[in-house]
Every structure is written in C-alpha cells, then in structure tokens.
Amino acid sequence: MSAKPIILILCTGNSCRSHLAEGVLRAVAGDQFDVQSAGSKPAGYVHPLAIRVMQEIGIDLSGHRSKPLTEFLAASVETVITVCGNADQACPIFPGQVNRHHWPFDDPAHATGNEEEKLAVFRRVRDEIRRTFTAYADGRRDQAKRK
C-alpha cells in the first residue's frame, strides 16, 4: 500500500463492476490515488468479458485478481465506494475512512443471450461506470486545487 489516499471499490463478487471501476479510476485519476477493489464474497476470478470490454478502451485488467474486503481492514482506506446493493449493506467501517459513496450499477455477469448480447451489457455498464468515475476523479482534482 502507498502513501496516496486509498480508494476501495467494493461489490459482492469482485469479478466485474468493481474491476471496471478500479480500472477506469486508475486510468483517469493518474497517480492521485491508490485505487483498489474487493468483494464481500469474492468470486475468485475476474470475468473474461470484463477484461475484454476494458481492453477495447485501452485498459488492461488481465493482472487483476478477485480479493476479499478483509484484505483491507487494517489499511488506511480514505474512501469506500460500493457499486452494488449487497456490498453496500455488508460494508464495514474502515479505520481512518473519511468518505463513503454508493453508486449501484447493473451486474453484467447476469447478462443473458449470445456472446454479442452479453458484450452489449458489459459495454453499457462499462460506459456508465466510466462516466461516473471520470466525473468523480474530475471533482476530486477540482477539490484538491481549491485547497
């Protein structure tokens, strides 16, 4: 862990949404934060379609792994962002935690249909997450400039 503020993005399985958000926030926030993700009940893998749709926008998730939120209980987490309802309900308070946000997104892992139909859902959720987390990073940069 680094001296930069830790932003922890949580969902239940830590296989899709939290990794999409982690990848986007790392890409748009640069070196401003230590961005991590975890799950309340980790699936144990990062969904292959999540990796694929992020590659389409130049973000590599292939080195990510599904982690339990307990890995971060002793860390100085500055901000927790939950991206699904179950994680919001299961989210503990972290020592030193200053901010908490809940921004729910549909779970693309539950998409049905053929591969192209599933990819369309993953892309839609990726784009929603990209807009939300880009705006968040922009807001944090503006806030830092005012200080």
d(CA 125, CA 118): 11
- Known catalytic residue at 16: no
Distant-in-sequence, close-in-space partners of 99: CB < 8 Å, separation ≥ 6: 78, 79, 80
SS3 call for 19: helix
| Active-site residue (options: 84, 87, 109, 111) | 84
| Active-site residue (options: 50, 83, 91, 121) | 91
Q: Residue 73 has what DSSP assignment?
A: T
| Active-site residue (options: 7, 9, 10, 11) | 11
How many angstroms from the chain centroid is the CA of residue 133? 9
CB 42 within 8 A of CB 28: no
Which residues are marked as active site?
11, 84, 91
